[in-house]
Amino acid sequence: MKDKIIIVEGPQGVGKTTFTNLLREKMKATDLYRLSGIKDKTETGHAKIKLKYEKLLEYIENCEDINMIFDRTFFTNEVYSRLGYQNYDFSITYNELLKKLDTLKNIEKYDIYLVILFLDDETLYEKRIKRDKHDYQKFDVQSSILQQREYLKLAQEVEQQTKNIKVIRFENDTIEQQEKNIQKYFSDIQ
């Protein structure tokens, strides 16, 4: 059986933490990684985050016999860059990282999934993002909606640009939908 690399992405308040926790509980021999960006939004920060993700992809290539779930990766940096949350253009780095992920050495031993969570009912963001967070993590409802739309565009682009990354869009309005989606797409790895 192939090792699974599952990258879960989506806007603030969409339910990534809940979803990744539930998915992790259902999968054997699985590591869960919660990644965050860095506070430095300058070109210096760009160099740091680029190195971080290059090293992460090297690490993934060298792991064996383990499933990995990632709560955010470099896809987040690309969406944030597109929306102007950073003071640099991440697109060249993003395309390099995407190509590297799509062509990992021994690619035949991996099933790679990019799971984009979204809310069909965008008004749910109002309730979901009202949580205590650090200042650098606070977003408003409109920001989450804009992020969602950008993530969905990115999903379509990844489908068109890659051959080894399976893109799945998960409507994530309720816990029941989460469980249904996990059963539908990942029942073979539980």
- pLDDT category at 186 given cuts 50, 70, 90 is confident
* Helix 74-82 × helix 91-102 angle, to 10°: 150
pLDDT above 90 covers a percentage of the chain that reads 66
Q: Identify the CATH number of the domain in which residue 127 sits.
A: 3.40.50.300
| Domain residue limits at 32 | 3-189
Q: pLDDT at position 141, please?
A: 86
- pLDDT score of 137 more than 90: no
Q: pLDDT at position 14, please?
A: 93
The reported pTM is 0.92
Residue 23 in contact with residue 69, Cβ under 8 Å? yes
Angle at 136 between CA 19 and CA 58, to 5 degrees: 60
Q: How many domains does the chain have?
A: 1
Q: pLDDT at position 136, please?
A: 44
Residue 61, judged by CB atoms within 10 A of its CB (0-12, 13-18, 19+), counts as middle
Tell me: the pLDDT tens digits for 14-47? 999 999 999 998 887 899 999 887 888 889 999 9
